[in-house]
Amino acid sequence: MLLSAAVLFILSGCSFSPKPPIAKQEPYELVKFGDTRIDPYFWMNKRDSQDVISYLNAENDYTNAVMQSTEELQAQLITEMRSRIKEDDISVPDFENGYFYYTRYEEGKEYPIHCRKKGSLEAPEEVMLNVNELAEGYTYFSATGLNVSTNNNILSYGADTVSRRQYTIYFKDLTTGKLLDTKISNTSGYAVWANDNQTVFYSVKDESLRPYQIYRHQISNSLSSSDELVYEENDETYVAYVSKSKSNAYLFFGSSSTMSDEYHFIDANKPYSKLQVIQPRERGLEYSVDHFESNFYIRTNLEAMNFRLMKAPISKPSKANWTEVIPHRIDVYLSGFEIFKDYLVLDERKEGLKQVKIIEWKGGKEHYINFGEEVYSAWIGYNPEFNTNLMRYTYTSLTTPTTVFDYNLASQEKTLLKQTEILGDFKSENYEAKRLWATAADGVKVPISLVYRKGIELNGKNPTLQYSYGSYGASTDPYFSSNKLSLLDRGFVFAIAHVRGGQELGRQWYEDGKLLKKINTFTDFTTCSDYLIEQKYTNAENLFAMGGSAGGLLMGAIANLRPDLYKGIIAQVPFVDVVTTMLDSSIPLTTGEYDEWGNPNDSTYYFYMKSYSPYDQVTAQNYPNMLITTGYHDSQVQYFEPAKWVAKLRNTKTDNNLILFKINMEAGHGGASGRFKMLEEVALEYAFMLKLVGKK
């Protein structure tokens, strides 16, 4: 039987000493390769069972009881963070096909309002989609994939009201403001228009939430049940999707796994034509494609670990006909490209930082944009027009709010369009950002980006939050967060550890942090922690670690490996039951990630995974204070992974440190959907740390 903290409070009389829930144990045997694992909490996998619901509610009650003393602090943090937000804000308009498109927010409203103006910013505003109205009556709401037909008359968009990322696609007639009768459920949320303004293509998901089929739908037919299947991906390690070229001339039907891509295409003016393959899939061959004039431009890792740029005639696009445009460079990772009529723009990475390179098609003159800071992030923005010398890009750093520029590719002049306004007394010059390098045991130097308020002493006593992700080649670039000011202004240092498994230092950085080298991700993180302590930024009594999803796996691994390093750990929606999840192909995302983690049906990968799987490696030792979060509807990391982990930690650890488990019963992987509602989750995390270091 589970007792809530409130019940325990009543039983304890006047002295409030909440006790954590004790989960029942029902030993469940899991056998593979002669190895037996006993999972006493396997019963938690039964979604919607009363026992599970009762346990999760009891955990929430306990967390609320323990954190009750910080309620005033949490309220103050929410007020602080919200007070920095310009609530009646508006994005920089993008011009496309005769209209200026933008998103704005109204004061006090949680969700965006998507608008446009025809021909001029002085024209009357057309509200395409007011998400606040759509979200009425829902505890969670997400609108995604907004896409307007070529004739500008019909808007398609996807809506999710559960947070399982199963979107229903709707169509809105922008001339009348009314929804069409068509509703297409269980999709990825994005419909791509052919140029006839009557035909759209969309992908649907299977039982494991893998996008695997692409259908063609006629707007004149309100019944999606008669839609025609045009592509099906039967390999469970691949996902299928559809997109459109920048030129609007071609539709691309993609299918991708971790290590391989395949694209088909059709003429966007002929939506019923037969799909043609660009390059058939090959194990280890990755590529992406766009169109310009008479060629497809192809970014690929063909004989190029850090990728290179190729082109091929549309009439014969296979790799036998690829010719090189930008060669492979051992010290530069080509992460993307953008094509203009007179210029080629490259999105690159070098020495852990983003770069934007501009090359003239005629003459070959080239230059880089100078960003002027030591630690920053920049990326090419949305640029739908070919025939222009202006390129939109976005810049941010740990001390500079997100800033949007138009860059003249010819004159090299920057025009500031918008910098996110931070209300209150914020001044960038009050904060300092640095890039440090920690040396791992194998001699590899791991970059650290960090920021703090000027004036702190390097006395080894500063409270510090160290963050990382470190998987899937996803780079954790330094960016500005107004919420973080609530920590920095209370004396915190914030650090990002750019560990292997990301792609900050090129493709090899990713390769050295996955599969049978995954341990590097974890030891790189602890190396960075040791370095921050050595350099007297902090100490083990003031150092906190944070990561989410695969970064939550990182948190679980370091908790087992080096619990002595941290005062507290915040593990957000953590992927911690690695072996069991990767053995269950019915769980969303599992089969498509064999090339990231390995396939545990192979004994080599099974035992390697088991050696670092946080749930399997919980042992009788002291652990740091921990705050663990999840969403009950999470489709990417199921709620029962952290639930079982919490129960096992409580039953096994040898200390009296806190383990708090917060479950959002109305959300999924991304947490709350509203821009203010999500501040409650941030405030809880900050209050947890501030409570432990005695900050008020």
* Residue the block writes with tokens 């006909």: 321
| Residues above pLDDT 70, as percent of the chain | 96
The mean per-residue pLDDT over the stretch 613-630 comes to: 98
pLDDT at 90 over 90: yes
Coil/strand/helix, residue 530: helix
Q: How many CB atoms lie within 10 A of CB 398?
A: 27
437 or 584: whose pLDDT is higher? Answer: 437
Split at pLDDT 50, 70, 90, the class of 636 is confident
At 504-539, the pLDDT tens digits run 999 999 999 999 999 999 999 999 999 999 999 999
Predicted local confidence at residue 95, as pLDDT:
95
**DSSP 8-state assignment for residue 352:** T
Predicted local confidence at residue 669, as pLDDT:
66
pLDDT at 217 over 70: yes
**DSSP 8-state assignment for residue 438:** E
The mean per-residue pLDDT over the stretch 637-657 comes to: 96
Predicted local confidence at residue 668, as pLDDT:
65
CA distance 262 to 6: 56
At 536-569, the pLDDT tens digits run 999 999 999 999 999 999 999 999 999 999 999 9
The mean per-residue pLDDT over the stretch 281-302 comes to: 97
Give, in degrees to the nearest 5, the angle at Cα 498 between 461 and 468.
70
Range from 129-133, 371-375, 691-695 that averages highest in pLDDT = 129-133
pLDDT at 5 over 60: no
pLDDT at 674 over 90: no
Task: Name the average pLDDT for the chain.
Answer: 94
Identify the weakest region by mean pLDDT among 16-20, 58-62, 367-371, 690-694. 16-20
Domain boundaries, the chain: 173-281, 286-330, 332-421, 447-693
pLDDT at 78 over 50: yes
Split at pLDDT 50, 70, 90, the class of 9 is very low
CA distance 490 to 486: 7
Q: Report the amino acid identity of residue 173.
A: D
Split at pLDDT 50, 70, 90, the class of 2 is very low
Structure tokens at 631: 């969403």
The mean per-residue pLDDT over the stretch 626-636 comes to: 89
The mean per-residue pLDDT over the stretch 271-288 comes to: 97
The mean per-residue pLDDT over the stretch 614-639 comes to: 93
The mean per-residue pLDDT over the stretch 332-338 comes to: 97
**What are the φ/ψ torsions at residue 594 (nearest 5 degrees)?**
-60, -35
At 411-430, the pLDDT tens digits run 999 999 999 999 999 999 99
Predicted local confidence at residue 15, as pLDDT:
47
- Reference 636, options 667, 612, 679, 681; nearest CA is 667
Split at pLDDT 50, 70, 90, the class of 696 is low
- First-to-last C-alpha distance (Å) of the chain: 37
Indicate if 447-693 has the same CATH topology as 173-281.
Answer: no
The CATH fold assigned to 173-281 is: Neuraminidase (2.120.10)
The mean per-residue pLDDT over the stretch 323-352 comes to: 96
The CATH fold assigned to 447-693 is: Rossmann fold (3.40.50)
pLDDT at 34 over 50: yes
At 368-383, the pLDDT tens digits run 999 988 899 999 999 9
Q: Where are the beta strands (DSSP E) in 340-480?
A: 343-350, 353-360, 366-368, 376-380, 390-397, 403-408, 414-419, 431-439, 445-453, 464-467
Residues identified as active-site: 549, 634, 669
At 91-126, the pLDDT tens digits run 999 999 999 999 999 999 989 999 999 999 999 999
Predicted local confidence at residue 675, as pLDDT:
77
At 181-204, the pLDDT tens digits run 999 999 999 999 999 999 999 999
- Reference 580, options 7, 211, 28, 24; nearest CA is 28
Q: Output helix, strand, coil percentages for the chain, rounded to the nearest 5.
A: 20, 35, 45
